[in-house]
């Protein structure tokens, strides 16, 4: 059960990163409508980075727990 949740979380993270990378590419190539949109993308990136760090930490703890069983 925990393995499936971890896989689902990783899939969500990958989809979110893809969306952020696409937005970042659009911003670099002049597709950003305004500096406000660019700042929104940057803030989303910071928030996602924080969530990913937390998810990776949780995965590490799960793997550590599994290894001790």
The answer to whether the predicted template modeling score (pTM) of the entire model surpasses 0.75 is no
Gap between the Cα atoms of 50 and 55, Å rounded: 9
CB burial of 11-48 (b: ≥16 within 10 Å; e: otherwise) equals eeeeebeeebeebeeebeeeebeeeeebeebeeebeee
Total domains in the fold of the chain = 1
pLDDT of residue 27: 66
Express each pLDDT in 2-61 by its tens digit. Answer: 678 878 888 888 888 888 888 777 766 665 467 777 788 889 989 998 999 999 888 888
pLDDT of residue 1: 56
| CA of residue 48 relative to chain centroid, distance | 4
Which of helix, strand or coil describes residue 15?
A: helix
pLDDT of residue 25: 76
Domain with 32 in it: 2-68
């Amino acid at each position: 059960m925990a393995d499936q949740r971890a896989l689902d979380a990783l899939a969500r993270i990958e989809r979110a990163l893809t969306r952020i990378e696409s937005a970042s590419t659009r911003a670099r190539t002049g597709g950003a409508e305004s500096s406000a949109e660019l700042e929104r993308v940057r803030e989303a990136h910071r928030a996602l980075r924080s969530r990913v760090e937390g998810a990776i930490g949780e995965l590490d703890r799960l793997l550590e727990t599994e290894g001790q069983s």
